[in-house]
Each structure stands twice: as C-alpha cells, then as structure tokens.
Amino acid sequence: MIRVPTSNLFLNRELSLIEFNKRVLAQAENRETPLLERLKFLSIVSSNLDEFFEIRVAGLKEQIKLGSLVRTPDGMESGEVFKIVSEKTHELVKKQYQLLNHEILPELAGEGINFLRRADWSGAQQEWVKAFFFRDLMPVLTPIGLDPAHPFPRVLNKSLNFVVQLSGKDAFGRASGVAIVQAPRVLPRLILLPREISAGGYDFIFLSSVLHAHVDELFSGMNVLGCHQFRVTRNSDLFVDEEEVKNLRVALQVELPHRHFGDAVRLEVSDGCPPHIASFLLDQFGLTPEDFYQVEGPVNLVRMMGVSDQIERSDLKYPLFIPGLPAISQKNRGDDIFQMMRKSDILLHHPYQSFQPVVHFIQQAAVDPCVVAIKQTVYRTGTDSVIMESLIDAASKGKEVTVVVELLARFDEEANINWAGRLEGVGAHVVYGVVGHKTHSKMVMIVRREGGSLRRYVHLGTGNYHPRTAGLYTDFGLLTCNEEICADVNEVFTQLTSLGKAGKLKHLWQSPFSFHRETLKAIKNEMQIAKDGRPARIIAKMNSLLEPEVIRALYDASSAGVKIDLIVRGVCVLRPGIAGLSENIRVRSVIGRFLEHTRIFYFRSDGSNNTYLSSADWMDRNFFRRIEICFPVLNSRLKKRVLTEGLKPYLRDNGQSWEMDSDGDYHLITARSSKNFCAQEALLTALSIVK
C-alpha cells in the first residue's frame, strides 16, 4: 500500500462543489448552447448556490461558532475552508452577473426578448405598471417603519425584500428614516407585459421595478431617498432528534416552519445599495463582510429559470424529442406489462426512453383484479403525481398498499407529509422507514395471483418516481420478475416495515449492511486480478465520490495496475493522476442538457463484466446512514446495453466532458480532430425521436 499523508489523499468537498458550479456556468457561457437554455443554466447556478449556502456553508459557520477544531479530510479547519469558499464564491457570482449583463441579456434583446428597466418604459407601459401596482401589489404590501414599536421584522429565507431610506415625519411625528417592505410571495417576480403595449417580441419587467417606481405611494407625505433590494439566505438544515421523537411526522410538521427563520448565512443586495445601509443590514442579521454579496442586477436569478416556458421560440431552445420505448415494448404493444415482464426483463434508459412504462406498471397494478398487494418506496415524487394517485386508487379498491415514505427528503418534506396523510386516509399502510436512516432506495414490488399461486414483479431504479424529473435526469430503471431479485426486494421491504435481523440477500447489495463491504470486495478483487497479471478494469459513474475507505481502495487498485475510469458529475475528493498513487485513475464530469443522475458500477472481473445499478453514490451517508440498494443487471443483453449506453459514450465524450487534475481543477476535453462527440446527443439520436 502506498503511504501518503492523509491530508494529501483528499480534496476539499466544499471547493469541489464550487468547481461543479463553475462547470454548470460554463454551459451558460457556451455560445453553442441555445440562448434561452444559457439563461436557464445561469439560473441553475443560483439555485445550486442557494442550497450550497443553506446546507454546506451553514454547516461551516455552525462549526466555526462552536469553536470546532476538527479538520476536514483534506486537512483544513472550518475557518480556513470558509475563507476560501467565500473568496471563490464571490468570484463565481461576479462572473455570473457579468455574463448575464454583458452577453445573455443583450443577445436576448437582439432576439426581441427584453427585460425592461424603468427608464425604458413607454408611456403605455408606465400606465399599465401603475394600474398593476394599485390593483395587485399595493393591497398586499405591509411596509414596516423601524422604530421602538416596530423592530426589524423577521425576514423569510430567500424572500425578496426592500430597505427604504426616508426623510421627514409621518402623521404621528415619527422619523425613523428606515422602513422595510417585504415582497408578497404570491406574486411573480417577473411579469410578462401584454403584447399590445410591447414593441414586438416579449417584454418582461421585474416586480422589484414596479415597487421601485411607486414606493413613494407607501409613505405618504415623506421623502423616499432610496429603495434597495435585499435577500437573506438562512440555515435550512432541519433538526429533528429521531431518537427522541415519538412521531416523526408530527415532529417534522412542527420543525418545517422554522426552516424559514434559521440563522442567516448570506446577504445579497442590489448594486445601488449604499455602504451604510449594507452595514445596517449586516448588523441586523449578525453577518460579516465575507457573507455580503452586492450584485449587479436582481438579487434572485432563480426566478429567471421559468422565462423560457413563457416564450414560444423553439429556435432558442433545445430541440423537442419524443422518448423512445425498448424493443420488447414496441413489439408487444397489445400485451399487458406483466406479460411483457414474464417474457424478458425490461431496461429503461431515461430520459431518452419513456418513463411511461413505469407509470403504466403501477397504474395497471392498481386496477388489475389479480394484483393483491403493492409496496413502494417514495423519496421525491412531487406535489402532483399520477403514481401516487394510482396508489391511492389501489388502496381505495381494497388492495394491500404499503408505502415507505421518506419524510426527511430534503426540501420535499412537506409534499411527502401530504401524500402520507392522503394514503393513510384511504387505508394504505404508511411507514417512515428506519430511525436514523433515510430510505433512499427506489423500488416497487407488486404481488399478483396467477394460477393459484402468488408471483412478484418489481421495478428498481436509479432515480425518483417523479415523471417530470424523469424527463430531465438521466437514469436507468429495471422491470423484472426474476424470482431471486424479487425475493431480495421482499426482504428489504420486510426490514423497512417490520422488526428483526437483516436476512442474507442473494443479489442485492444493501446499505447499511452489505453495500460498502461488497464494493470494497469488488475493488479488491480487481486489484488481485491485476496483481496476477490479468486485465483489470473498473468504471464507475455517480453523482459524488467522498467515502474515504473506498477512495483508499481505489488508490490501492490503481497502484496494482487496475485501469479505473470515474465519471463523477459533481463532488469528487479523490485525487487522480498522482504518480505511485493514482496514475491509473481518470476522473471526468459530463455537464449537458440533462442532469447526469445514473449510478453505474462496472467491474471486469476476469471477463464476467459484473454490472450494477444503484440509487446511491459512493458517500458516507449512502453507505452507512441510508437504506440503499445496488442491484446487478443479470441479463447479458441488458448488461451490454448498460455498458454501451451508460458508460462507453461518456468515456468517448469530447464535447461536454471535463477532466479533473490532481489539484481538483477541471479542464474541458476538446476533440483532437474537428469532430465533437457528445454522449447525450448521441443517445438522443439512438433512443428517442428528435423533432
């Protein structure tokens, strides 16, 4: 084993996350990306940064406040990490707004899509805005003048607010000089003006501009000296002591409202905000200059993500496509889903192939009189879900429906609580998994009475049961009635709903019991094969790579001569390309139209080509603090599909791939010839119908 100081073995997690967002921003910078999609990628960066501050930066600040001297795996203390994070994030945000103001908005204007400043409003537009203000905005505003009777208000997490500078005295003789106006959450932040008052094309105005134009109407008889947008980001990590609570659902319902008022971690203000007002706001939120972001434009670019949905310009968007169907579905359109599964396992590759067979699988089970039971895990499914409605329908018809709902799915807690209530209302069995372990596995099991006996059918996936994200995220799903796989799935459901020791599984690797152990075993097996002088190969595709023991095993395998390719979309703290340690490891990240979400683990294993799919990354939490499954693809034809669709195209990609160096920096892989190959585009062409 190579002996290298621990601090040199790992990169920093937070800095790796910032690197990921740089790669997302590069999609917005790329002129080959359709213009409205560039705006969307710019907004995605803001959305990612919001969560980064709410969770990761909030955690750093909490450690600093507690005086923690614990070092991260890369050897840095929390204070050191926070300082670098602040510096790099400020650079990223500055670059983001420069791109918005100097490239994207001018180019959109050239296409007749305008984001109008107040100075550019025509007379007709000014009249429309005035009417909108008095009709839709002013009635729901509550300006708060600050004085001893009106302290600084509680500002909601990520809400749009205005600090207003005033002079003069009001009707009661008060002259505080400062007021706070909170923008109503019920109103859109971007407003598309009616065509009849537009100069042609699409004209948008910001809600903030409407308020700026008429803010004096809120302070009769006083002089408005300034009005400035601001937005505060708060710690949004929920604290629920699962060991202490008696009812997790009730505890979460109590805790969720507090998410809006956690400790402040970031303050964003518009560019015109004067220093003394900025200092005043920082004091109010207990923040330092390192937490302060003054931006040249709207303080919330996430709101611009939906702009393209309001614009009918297909030439400025990615081409539409119709997801394809696997060959067995095309040949057997008249057969029911269970009949098809009895003929052969079915592999679905989303979004290139339709998610509809999964929906149909559950819908058919809900109405099929031969189906006696349905069991499903739910992590993220959305507020409007045809799958959940089918489960409710099945329970209403008297079928045994068991749903393992993960209440602690971050930012989906409220939706999941609501679904749990509706399911219980029709007699479904609703359980919340295992205390201290999130249920993150994606599985459905259907039990059907056939010829006097019961037969099980399952769907296992790498992604959520969410039809909308199935059109945006790359994922694999497997429909099978293999008896041994089904028996393993049944065992996992029994663990989740009952009590008792974990039984041995035939094929599945499961967290927190066997997944980590079997992963290490598979890596070490390749290492031994290499030591014996035979070809050894590992290819792994995932969202994040963080777990130290797995990383050390990969280093050892590399040192033994195993060729390792890691396709890691987001965070990777492994250092590739270090002589004597990781010279046989390559790390690449693919960022494109679709969010790469598939987890695939391939081990050559002397030609057996063992191939696994999973909902889990190689992270501590996935191995030890979650219920996860990693399932093999046993059918040789489908195994070949996973390799030829899920791995090999990404290793060829020279259009949207970034290669990582040993310092954690990424470099865009460029074509050595004039021809680019983009994995996502190739898969769209091969598996779907592009319009």
* Residue pLDDT, tens place only, 452-503: 899 999 999 999 998 888 999 999 999 999 999 999 999 999 998 887 677 7
How far is the C-alpha of 295 from the C-alpha of 97, rounded, in Å? 7
Cis peptide bond N-terminal to 34, omega within 30: no
What is the CATH class of 510-690? alpha beta
pLDDT at 151: 82
**Contact predicate 576/586, CB 8 Å:** yes
How far is the C-alpha of 482 from the C-alpha of 644, rounded, in Å? 23
**Contact predicate 571/649, CB 8 Å:** no
**How much of the chain exceeds pLDDT 70, in percent?**
91
CB atoms within 10 A of CB 645: 23
Residue 245: which pLDDT band, with cuts at 50, 70 and 90?
A: very low
Q: Could you tell me whether strands 292-295 and 113-115 are parallel, antiparallel, or unpaired per DSSP bridges?
A: unpaired
How far is the C-alpha of 489 from the C-alpha of 456, rounded, in Å? 10
Count, residues in the chain: 691
How far is the C-alpha of 305 from the C-alpha of 39, rounded, in Å? 7
pLDDT tens profile 98-128: 999 999 999 999 999 999 999 999 999 999 9
Supply the mean pLDDT for the chain. 90
> How much is the average pLDDT of 58-68?
88
**Residue 40, CA distances (Å) to 33, 302, 316, 523 in order:** 10, 9, 11, 39
**Contact predicate 682/650, CB 8 Å:** no
Q: What is the pTM of this model?
A: 0.92
**Could you give the count of Cα atoms lying within 13 Å of 571 in the half-sphere of its Cβ?**
20
> How much is the average pLDDT of 583-605?
97
Q: Do domains 6-316 and 321-504 have the same CATH topology?
A: no
Identify the H or E element spanning 97: helix 78-99
Widest Cα–Cα separation across the chain: 90
pLDDT of 519 above 80: yes
Residue 261: which pLDDT band, with cuts at 50, 70 and 90?
A: low
Superfamily name with CATH number, domain 321-504:
Endonuclease Chain A (3.30.870.10)
Q: Which of 440, 459, 466, 516 is catalytic?
A: 440
pLDDT of 355 above 90: yes
For the four alpha carbons of 211, 276, 82 and 54, in that order, the dihedral sign comes to negative
Compute CA 539 distance to the chain's CA centroid, rounded to the nearest angstrom.
23
Question: Which tokens sit at 691?
Answer: 């319009």
Identify the H or E element spanning 600: strand 599-603
Q: Domain segments of the chain: what residues? A: 6-316, 321-504, 510-690
Is 643 exposed, middle or buried (CB count within 10 Å of its CB: 0-12, 13-18, 19+)?
A: middle
pLDDT of 613 above 60: yes
Q: Could you tell me whether strands 626-632 and 610-614 are parallel, antiparallel, or unpaired per DSSP bridges?
A: antiparallel
**Contact predicate 536/608, CB 8 Å:** no
Q: Is 440 a known active-site residue?
A: yes
**Contact predicate 388/355, CB 8 Å:** no
Residue 286: which pLDDT band, with cuts at 50, 70 and 90?
A: very high
Is CATH 3.30.1840.10 what the domain over 6-316 is classified as, yes or no? yes
How far is the C-alpha of 402 from the C-alpha of 373, rounded, in Å? 8
Identify which has the larger pLDDT, 177 or 310.
310
How far is the C-alpha of 40 from the C-alpha of 150, rounded, in Å? 40
For residue 502, what is the DSSP state? P
Residue for token digits 């429309």? 128
The helix/strand/coil state of 512 is coil
